[in-house]
């Protein structure tokens, strides 16, 4: 299995688990400087567990939309380069800021991912990977609006949340609609269900057209 440099399966005494090296966040299992990356709590970890090709490499610049309290984005920041973490809610932002104090390459932004013009003056142009994990209606629209930051040949790593789009609709119908919308500006490379760790979620890997 091919994983990004800096991501490995490590033995934590109860079997091997996905892991990165860095300061732990919360109650993560730690062994010899490695911290467990739980696919049940992280959609990006679940994608790696499914061997999806996220395009993450050492030194990459990453824009993460929907960073919440910072657990997943901290794992990403520990293996790439400059990492911009956008989060809308003030409460998780406080924890995200604390997580960033241990990582000089992690930049928390208290902003709305639906309004990229509010952080365009901060985020570098031509980022390598755009990670999107936002609980909002119009997830394809968010990806379109943030397309301006992504370099040609870069990757969109998107977790579609069916219940955020339409709580009453069949998830597969929602996924088809979002993908059809994405295809106006993105070429879809891979998709995979994230069940059972993340019910009614679909992983989408895409590149700009």
Domain boundaries, position 92: 38-208
Q: Is residue 187 part of a domain?
A: yes
The confidence score (pLDDT) of residue 131 equals 98
Q: Please indicate, yes or no, if residue 199 is contained in any of the structural domains.
A: yes
pLDDT in tens, 169-207: 999 999 999 999 999 999 999 999 999 999 999 999 999
Q: In the chain, count of helices (H) and strands (E)?
A: 6, 11
- Smallest CA-to-CA distance from 105 within 6, 9, 205, 36 is with 6
Report d(CA 92, CA 96) in Å as an integer: 6
In-domain check, residue 81: yes
From CA 48, how far away is CA 26, in angstroms rounded? Answer: 21
Is 69 within the bounds of a domain? yes
Quote the pTM value.
0.96
Taking the C-alpha atoms of residue 81 and residue 59, their distance in angstroms, rounded to an integer, is 4
The pLDDT > 70 percentage for the chain reads 100
Contact between 97 and 89 (Cβ < 8 Å)? no
125-153 tens-digit pLDDT: 899 999 999 999 999 999 999 999 999 99
86 three-class SS: strand
CATH number of the domain encompassing residue 130: 3.40.50.150
- Beta-bridge mates of residue 131: 64, 157
Distance CA 38, CA 196 (A): 13
In the chain, the number of structural domains is 1
1, pLDDT greater than 80: no
Task: Find the angle CA(8)-CA(14)-CA(19) to the nearest 5 degrees.
Answer: 20
Q: Is residue 2 part of a domain?
A: no
């Amino acid at each position: 299995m091919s994983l990004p440099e800096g991501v490995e399966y490590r033995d934590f005494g109860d079997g091997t688990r996905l892991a990165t090296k860095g300061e732990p966040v919360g109650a993560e299992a730690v062994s010899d400087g490695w911290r467990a990356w739980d696919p049940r709590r992280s959609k990006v970890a679940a994608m790696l567990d499914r061997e999806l090709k996220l395009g993450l490499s050492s030194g990459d610049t990453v824009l993460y939309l929907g960073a919440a309290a910072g657990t997943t984005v901290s794992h990403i920041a520990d293996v790439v380069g400059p990492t911009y973490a956008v989060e809308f809610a003030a409460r998780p932002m406080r924890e995200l800021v604390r997580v960033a104090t241990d990582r000089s390459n992690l930049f928390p932004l208290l902003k709305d991912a639906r309004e990229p013009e509010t952080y365009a003056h901060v985020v570098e142009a031509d980022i390598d990977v755009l990670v999107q994990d936002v609980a909002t209606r119009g997830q394809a629209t968010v990806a379109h609006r943030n397309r301006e930051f992504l370099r040609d040949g870069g990757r969109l790593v998107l977790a579609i949340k069916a219940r955020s789009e339409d709580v009453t609709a069949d998830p597969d119908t929602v996924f088809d609609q979002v993908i059809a919308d994405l295809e106006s500006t993105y070429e879809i490379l891979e998709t995979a269900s994230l069940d059972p760790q993340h019910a009614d979620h679909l992983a989408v890997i895409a590149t700009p057209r």
